[in-house]
Structure 1
Amino acid sequence: MAGTSCSILSFRSNFRTSWLVFDTHRGGNMSGKPFKRKHLAVRAEVNFVNAEEAKNLIAVEGYAVLDVRDKTQFERAHIKSCYHVPLFIENQDNDFGTIIKRQLHNNFSGLFYGLPFTKPNPEFVQSVKSQFSPQSKILLVCQEGLRSTAAANKLDQAGYGNIACMTSGLQSVKPGMFDSVGSTELQNAGKAGLVTIQGKISAVLGTVLVCAFLFITFFPDQAEKLLQLVPAN
């Protein structure tokens, strides 16, 4: 005969719920001998905090800030003394499919929104491991909160147990809340390209320019014919 008992204990901290699972298996036999097996597992959930709570984690609990944004946003503005390991890196692959996708991206998203053409960083977890032990307290930040959440999932699977994420990202940070480095405020680091031009007229002009650029890029022969129709004067 064999019996199984399982007890689950939960306890809460200010920022997370942790689960302590203790499974005990009794009875049974192996080669005629009774055996006992115990399994102990601890799973700590990722902490999701707002900007004020994030500041407290840094100042009081000693969390290190890990910025997972791409290089361009990081250079525009970042929290002083933070670490930088991008979750996505610039995609410079030159296979035919990637070249087409990059051209489409650069002619629209890149020009209009200032977004670089990227791909997942295959060395992300390894790069983090080279700088932080699994016991380190790490606060993950990005611009909107999506990349930091994805990074937290990767690090959680890699065995990191003290991970926190700033919800809504740096775009929700008020000016002066953190000491920062860069040419703009933290909340504006994601803004670039033609969308930074203010006013309805500029927005319409930006859209026209993007459309014209796309037309010239993909229909060069037709564009040349249209230009020939324009009077020289």
Structure 2
Amino acid sequence: MAVQLKSFTISKCASIKSEIASNLPRSTAHKLVARNVRRQRPGKLNVTSHLKTAYELVEKEQIRRVKPKEAQAVIEEGYKVLDIRPDWEYANASVDGSVHVPFFVEDEGMDPITLLKKSINMGYGGLWQGSRLTKENVNFLPAVADGVAKEEKVLLTCAEGLRSLLAVEVLHGQGYTELAWLDGGYQSCSEEDLPNQSGECELRFASIGGVSQYFLKLATYITEMQDKKEEK
């Protein structure tokens, strides 16, 4: 029963993020993610153009593609983890020893246009998912330069693998030469893939917020209680 409940909970929470739905072709999933980024993350960043360039760099092997099951081995090779998720996702869970520089930050503007965008975001599931209206972090490059040298080996990570793909293309254009990208993001990683992690939840669930987060915590608690009963 506990296993069934846990499986059901993970399935329901994962369905919140359409970009990681296992029943979608990869190209379709990334289109949905890109659409979500364009809607929620306004700024000067040309998402479509940067993604196209990033994919070309990956295909030409100028940027190393890292699958979830390869992540720990890559870190052990000497790659530094650069986590570019927003602050609230990083606070929920992170890889031990990672450098955190958000690629997008919360848009705290109170002008009429921003307030309208925030209300639309809430209507598109913001309350349930805990998503927030964000904007491009204009201090991203200076902050990265403070923590990462251009010749260092760097593995860029985020929740779904999209934001980190955008960021890795930007860093490549700035002269960073040893770049790797976690394909699929943390949401595709199990605890076995990245065992050295810490936080309030599993790394793959760190981007789940809002009302859905409380359902996840409740279901996890019930599952743990049922597991303990079965052990007795």
Query: TM-score normalised by the shorter chain: which range applies?
Result: 0.5 to 0.7
Name which of 101, 107, 132 aligns with 1:91. 107
Amino acid at match of 1:188: F
The residue that corresponds to 1:179 in the other structure is 196
1:188 aligns with 205
Moved over 6 A (4+): none
| Aligned-CA RMSD value | 2.1
Distance (whole Å) between structure 2 residues aligned to residue 175 and residue 125 of structure 1: 30
Residue 98 of structure 2: aligned partner: 82
Q: Does 1:164 align with 2:177?
A: no
Q: Which residue identity does 1:140 align to in structure 2? A: L
Q: Which of these two proteins has the greater Rg computed from alpha carbons? A: 1
- Structure 2 counterpart of 1:64, one-letter code: K
3-state SS of paired residue (2:82): strand
Correspondence 1:88-127 to 2 at 5 A: 88-127=104-143
Distance 1:193 1:137 in 2: 35
Q: 2:155 aligns to what SS in structure 1?
A: strand
SS in 1 for 2:147: coil
Structure 2 unpaired stretches of 5+:
1-57, 217-232
Report whether the alignment pairs 1:151 with 2:167. yes
Unmatched tracts of structure 1, length 5 or more = 1-15, 19-43, 200-233
Deviation at 1:178, TM superposition (A): 2.4
Aligned length: 158
CA deviation vs aligned residue, 1:1-30 (integer Å, no higher than 9, x gap): xxxxxxxxxxxxxxx787xxxxxxxxxxxx
Partners in 1 of 2:120 and 2:191 — Cα distance? 35
Secondary structure of 2:159's match?
Answer: coil
Question: Aligned partners of 1:65, 1:198: CA distance in 2, in Å?
Answer: 30
Quick check: 87-96 or 103-112, which moved more?
Answer: 103-112
Give the fraction of aligned pairs with identical amino acids, expressed as a percent. 32
Q: Does 1:50 align with 2:70?
A: no
Q: Which residue of 1 aligns with 2:151?
A: 135
Amino acid at match of 2:81: V
Q: CA deviation at 1:144?
A: 0.5
Give the Å deviation of 1:108.
4.4
Cα–Cα, structure 1 residues 17 and 162, in superposed 2: closer, same or farther, change >3 Å? farther
- In the TM superposition, what whole-angstrom CA distance separates every residue of 1:21-47 from its partner, at most 9, and x where no partner exists? xxxxxxxxxxxxxxxxxxxxxxx7111
Report the alpha carbon displacement of residue 196 of structure 1 after superposing the two structures with TM. Answer: 4.5
> For the residues of structure 2 that align with 1:161 and 1:53, how far apart are their CA atoms?
20
**More helix as a share of residues:** 2
TM-score, structure 2 normalization: 0.63
1:78, 1:119 → 2: CA distance?
22
